[in-house]
Amino acid sequence: MKTLLIIDVQNDFMPGGSLAVPEADKIVPVINNMQHKFDLIVAAQDWHPKNHISFASNHDGKSAFDEIEIQGKKQTLWPNHCVQGTKGAEFHSDLNTQRWEAVFRKGTDKTIDSYSAFYDNGHLKSTGLSGYLKEKGTSQLFLCGLAADICVYFSIYDAFKEGFACFFIEDASQPLDSEGFKDIKKKITDLGIQIISSEAI
């Protein structure tokens, strides 16, 4: 079964949002136009409590994009984003969600960040996505969304480790840091994962 995983196409990551990804809104029509090519469509949604440990506002004297250490792991501090129940946490209003069968929320534990759609950053808790996809019979998993160099990349890595045949749809994704994304793309191809365009599906 050919499955599409759409990651974090939410208002706070759009231009004007609290953690804006450059030109993020450009991927919305691309994602809409390719959905008919898939047997199964699921999405991931950043869904943070307002006291989340990754928010700079919850650390005295710290600013957004500072780096600290939490439980022995490096943690980038972010602007408050995708707070549960807020407009910023909602999916972009132009995104076609009619064919989506499930949404997996991540980052819900205030004590640990969660970039991947599959696990938190410490791999302590699963979102249940892997088991769901295997139960559904997913053979090929196509990933896209925001941000390409963070949540999409970590989701690709975990999907690969879970045994899925993965494809990264580049024109349906946008990175937060386009320069650093060059290294991320090399990591993706080094895993043997194909980087494709939506037209090639």
| Catalytic residue list | 8, 106, 151
Q: Which two tokens stand for residue 131?
A: 């088991």
Distance CA 174, CA 181 (A): 9
